[in-house]
Amino acid sequence: MLMTLTSLFVVLTALRGQAVAAPATTSQAFVTKFDDLTPTKLSMVKPIPGPQDGLFFGGFTYRSDGIPQIVAKSPPNLIGFSNLRKTLGLAAPISNIRTKYPGSNVKSYRLTSAFIACSISGTSVVPPVGGISLPPPTIPQPCEIKFTATTAKGKVASQTCSYSGTSLDPALQSCFFDQTKFADVVTVVVDLESALTLTETTTVQMDDVAHTNYY
């Protein structure tokens, strides 16, 4: 009888432990290409209307392939932001990739990689072609882009990725993130650290952002 009661106690203890255990976290991997967004015309930029694959890209705009040299890794769309805020002496850039937005069910994410580039827009007036004024050319610029991650537990870590593109080779280049620092993050701020030519028209471009969401 003693052994029976002891065995029952062990079973009940195990069941109680299962009842209070946290539910298992589910995950899903994505490569966000932004190509479900309506393509733009003549290299115009538009705000990103909402979350993409569970993440909100705040402070970014998007455009489709056009006159600028730097084109999407996976056409037609890519995203970016300009250096306008910093050069005008306003607040630091707020471009960020975050989990928090109305209706979000993503608890955190792991940022794996992205394709990046920098450029500077020309300021000269481009003569109209067929009665349509085309945007000025975009010239690739070597640069350093800083990514600052904040985890769900409040820890902060950063990493800088380099782009070395030129007019002869303007393609976006890959950036792979430290999988220890960029795991379980809720926000990653993206900032232009330095560039060969740093003005208000210097821009950052990104495409094919690989991440794993945790729910």
Which CATH number does the domain housing residue 180 bear? 2.60.120
Rounded Cα distance, 78 and 100, in Å: 22
- Average pLDDT, integer, range 34-39: 96
The verdict on residue 20 lying in a domain is: no
- Other CB atoms within 10 A of residue 214 CB: 18
Contact 103, 94 (CB under 8 A): no
Element (H, E) at 81: strand 77-82
Confidence band of 67 (pLDDT split at 50, 70, 90): low
Q: Which residue has the higher pLDDT, 90 or 80?
A: 80
Highest mean pLDDT among 6-10, 62-66, 86-90, 95-99: 95-99
Interval 102-159: pLDDT, tens: 999 999 999 999 999 999 976 544 455 555 555 566 899 999 999 999 999 999 999 9
Rounded Cα distance, 213 and 215, in Å: 7
The verdict on residue 19 lying in a domain is: no
Domain count, the chain: 1
Question: Which ranges constitute the DSSP H helices of 21-154?
Answer: 84-87
Rounded Cα distance, 63 and 48, in Å: 10
Torsion, Cα of 52, 157, 184, 46 (10° steps): -10
Q: Are strands 185-195 and 138-140 parallel, antiparallel or unpaired?
A: unpaired
| pLDDT at residue 25 in the model | 84
Torsion, Cα of 171, 72, 116, 192 (10° steps): 110
Residue that has been written with the tokens 């050069």 in this structure: 87
Contact 180, 104 (CB under 8 A): no
Q: How many CA atoms lie within 13 A of 1 on its CB side?
A: 0
Q: Counting Cβ atoms within 10 Å, is residue 91 exposed (0-12), middle (13-18) or buried (19+)?
A: exposed
The verdict on residue 40 lying in a domain is: yes
The verdict on residue 198 lying in a domain is: yes
ω before 47 within 30° of 0 (cis)?
A: no
Distances (CA, A) of 80 to 11, 96, 132: 57, 11, 25
Residues in the chain: 215
Domain of 131 in residue numbering reads as 26-214
Residue 53: pLDDT over 50: yes
